[in-house]
Amino acid sequence: MRTIFTVDWKNPGRRILLASKSPRRSELLKLMGFSFETTAPDIDNEDSFLDKNDIVGSMQRLALAKTESASISNPDALVLGADTIVFHCGSILCKPRSENEARAMLKRLNGSRHEVYSAVALECKEEGFFESAIEKTLVYFRNIEENEIESYIRSGEYADKAGAYAIQGQAMIFVDKIDGCFYNVVGLPVVKTISLFKDYVTRKDQADV
Asked if 71 contacts 124 with a C-beta cutoff of 8 angstroms, the reply is yes
Asked if 31 contacts 182 with a C-beta cutoff of 8 angstroms, the reply is no
Q: Choosing from 51, 83, 160, 199, which is the catalytic residue? A: 83
Residue 179 among the catalytic residues: no
Rounded (5°) CA angle 89-112-102: 75
- Please, where are the H alpha helices in the chain? 23-31, 55-71, 99-109, 146-155, 182-186, 190-208
User: Which residue from 186, 174, 179 is spatially nearest to 111, judged by alpha carbons?
Assistant: 174
Active-site annotation, residues: 83
